[in-house]
């Protein structure tokens, strides 16, 4: 049917680094819909953007995460939502349980975020390799 798109496999693209899974569910006209899943104890950071007109909306599907704003700790849980626009500083969330949320952005962000996740994965593998080399050297 013209104008209707059904996504049966669950996502258009997906990237996973072990503690974080980012799934692109839809995009069009500069808007992206993503599902983000984080394991318990993962640090989740919202960064100020370079474009102060970008708006991001988040809806918690399951789990709990904690955020501290102005020395006030808040726990966000399933069915809570929040938004961000023109942040003046980073916002740090901690996944208190495994947590999954939907996010909608008025600017394309999936590929940027997936590149960051891939780069972090490369760094992690390089560190593991160096530790293994160092351990073998020390043991010999």
Q: Are 96 and 42 in contact (CB under 8 A)?
A: no
- Tens of pLDDT, residue by residue over 72-131, are 999 999 999 999 999 999 999 999 999 999 999 998 776 566 666 666 666 666 666 666
Q: Are 33 and 13 in contact (CB under 8 A)?
A: no
- Tens of pLDDT, residue by residue over 9-37, are 789 888 888 888 989 999 888 899 999 99
d(CA 32, CA 23): 11
- What values do phi and psi take at 88, rounded to 5? -100, -5
Find the radius of gyration of the CA atoms of the chain.
18
Q: Are 13 and 114 in contact (CB under 8 A)?
A: yes
Q: Are 95 and 44 in contact (CB under 8 A)?
A: yes
pLDDT of residue 91: 95
Residue 20, CA distances (Å) to 4, 62, 71, 134 in order: 30, 15, 27, 28
pLDDT of residue 98: 98
d(CA 98, CA 65): 9
Handedness of CA 111, 39, 33, 86 (dihedral sign): negative
């Amino acid at each position: 049917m013209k104008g209707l798109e059904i996504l049966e496999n669950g996502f258009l693209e997906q990237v996973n680094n072990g503690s974080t899974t980012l799934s692109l569910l839809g995009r069009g006209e500069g808007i992206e819909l993503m599902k983000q899943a984080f394991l318990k104890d993962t640090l989740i950071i919202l960064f100020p953007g370079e474009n102060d007109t970008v708006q991001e909306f988040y809806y918690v599907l399951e789990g709990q995460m904690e955020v501290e704003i102005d020395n006030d700790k808040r726990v966000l849980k399933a069915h809570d939502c929040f938004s961000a626009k023109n942040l003046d500083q980073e916002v740090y969330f901690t996944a208190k349980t495994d947590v999954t949320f939907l996010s909608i952005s008025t600017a394309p962000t999936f590929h940027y975020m997936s590149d960051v996740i891939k780069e972090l994965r490369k760094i992690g593998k390089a560190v593991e390799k160096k530790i293994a080399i160092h351990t073998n050297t020390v043991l010999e």
